[in-house]
Structure 1
Amino acid sequence: MASGLIIEVKASYALNYLIYIQNAVMNRRAIPEERSLKFPYLNSEDWHLTDDNFEVVFAEVWEEMLAKVCANPQIDHNGIVETERLALMKLFRQGYDGIRGYEESGQSFHAWFGGSFGQYAIERLIDNKALNELYAQLSPHTKLSKLLIMVIYDEAILTNGLRKQQSNILVASFHQLNRAYDRIAELIKRIEKEGE
């Protein structure tokens, strides 16, 4: 099978914002002696995140945002934290404090992700050799013409492994991409086969 496969790697704004929130919550809840610090390590108390079943709400918002960016990857840009305000506000308490917390978290996220050490760094640190290996594993066997890999900077722990994928879109953490291309290739092949 001749392959015209194109692989695009993109650090997702929406999903990385959710990972940013997830990690801030995990740092706040960790027992100091058992703490495994995650980025961002900051005081998120002033963000007034919801206390009502945060993990459940987070998983729901993750699935909602994942479905939206998979359906239309073009909406996943530096303004998505504002354009998807209604969905993302579910993570914050209702009222003025929650609104201020949402705005503060968005500003903090943009200060990092919009700069040289956020989106740009994540996309540039992906190993080109490994991407070439993924291409070599997939191209002879796939019917895909394009594969979009949406990179998140850390593991999505609070999603309970929920990764609704399309055959042409894969969400993977930076760490997964740089150490598990063979498993990613198998996952893509399986998803493609299930879609037939």
Structure 2
Amino acid sequence: MGNSLLMTTEATYSLNFLIYIQNIFLNQNQRNGKFKFPYMTTKYMFREEFESTYKKLWDEVSERIFDQSISDMEIFYEEKDLFYQRLFVESDENLKDYTEIYKSFGVWWESFAGRISIERSISDEGWNLYVGLANLLAQKGIEPKKELSISLIYDECILANLDVFPYFSILTTKNLFVAYKEIIPKLEVCIY
């Protein structure tokens, strides 16, 4: 049996924007000085039930990207108010602050330091992951039925789970650098 694994990796706009918002929230509530990117000095008004709402929104966006019922970029650009309405206290001042967060993310994400760097930074690790997974599938006689899609996020998702869907997974760049061998068996589960 030859290698029939097709795999794509892409740094998604929406999930990375959610990580960006998560990190702002965590930094704002940080007591030990271990801040995450981005560090903002503005105090934002998040909803009281932010953590549970964040998890639900993460799950919803992840599933929509997995289902491919709508593209990731459509969620980010055409439904940008979704993030604000679910996670922030609604007020004129907060809408202005949210718009600054949205623009700040967009500038970073579209710059060379953002999405492109994240996708390029894992090229060797992505190849190692591909080869390791392809070899494991070949050893076990598993023939993938379709392409495996991997969404990359720039930092850990602390407030939600990185669920695995059939032929779709979300990975942090850190996991690819530090623990790619441990990721291979987890990815095998989503291929049948």
Equivalent position SS for 2:190: helix
The answer for unaligned runs of 5 or more in structure 2 is: none
Alpha-carbon spacing, 1:99–1:82, altered in 2? closer, same or farther (3 Å): farther
Query: Cα deviation per residue 1:81-117 (whole Å; 9 max; x = unaligned)?
Result: 3322353121111232332232111101001111110
* Residue aligning to 1:48: 45
Contact preservation (8 Å) 1:48, 1:97: no
| Aligned counterparts of 2:154 and 2:54: Cα–Cα separation in 1 | 17
Checking the alignment, whether the CA contact within 8 Å between 1:67 and 1:164 is kept in structure 2 is no
Cα deviation per residue 1:52-73 (whole Å; 9 max; x = unaligned)?
1211111111111111111118
Root-mean-square deviation (CA, aligned residues, Å) is 1.9
Q: 1:6 to 1:73 in 2, by over 3 A?
A: farther
Q: What is the alpha-carbon distance in structure 2 between the residues aligned to residue 117 and residue 80 of structure 1?
A: 22
1:70 equivalent to 2:66? Answer yes
* 8 Å CA contact 2:4, 2:143 repeated in 1: no
Q: Greater CA deviation, 94-103 or 170-179?
A: 94-103
Q: Does structure 2 retain, via aligned residues, the 8 Å contact 1:92–1:101?
A: no
Match of 2:27 in 1: 27
Per-residue deviation, residues 7-47 of structure 1 (Å, max 9, x unmatched): 2111110010001011111111111xx221210011242x4
TM-score relative to the length of structure 1: 0.85
Report how far residue 119 of structure 1 moved: 0.2
Dislocated runs of 4+, deviation >6 Å: none
The 5-angstrom pairing of residues 1-196 of structure 1 reads 1-31=1-31, 34-45=32-43, 47-50=44-47, 52-72=48-68, 75-77=71-73, 80-89=75-84, 90-128=86-124, 130-140=125-135, 141=137, 142-144=142-144, 145-159=146-160, 162-192=161-191
Percent identical across equivalent pairs? 28
The aligned length equals 185
Kindly state the Cα deviation for residue 143 of structure 1 after the two structures are TM-superposed.
2.7
Contact 1:167-1:188 within 8 A present in 2 as well = no
Structure 1 residue runs of 5 or longer lacking an equivalent are none
Q: CA deviation at 1:139?
A: 1.8
